[in-house]
Amino acid sequence: MDKKDEAVPVQVFAGTQWETTMLKNLLEDAGIEAFLKDEYMGTIYPWFTNPGGVDPIKVFVSSKDLEEAHRFVEE
């Protein structure tokens, strides 16, 4: 298997718990597997996961779904 064919996690969005959970649900409803990084620590200690505490939670998808996921982020 070529390295270029491997699926790797890619961050598509960073925001608050409400924003990231809504986006994750929209992506999963469209058949795109997504996961949240720093979901709990970003809620309890937002300044710990991101300096300043701004947009502490991140949404990741597979690199193979990146283009389609970006359409949801832009909307």
Each domain of the chain, given as residue ranges in start order, spans 8-74
pTM for this one?
0.83
Helix (H) or strand (E) holding 43: helix 41-44
Per-residue pLDDT at 61 exceeds 90? yes
Q: What is the mean pLDDT of residues 29-51?
A: 83
pLDDT band at 3 (very low <50, low <70, confident <90, very high): low
Higher-confidence position of 8 and 40: 8
Average pLDDT, the chain: 87
Is the domain defined by 8-74 classed in CATH 3.80.10? no
Per-residue pLDDT at 33 exceeds 90? yes
Please report the sign of the dihedral spanned by the C-alpha atoms of residue 62, residue 67, residue 33, residue 59.
positive
Cα 25 from chain centroid (whole Å): 11
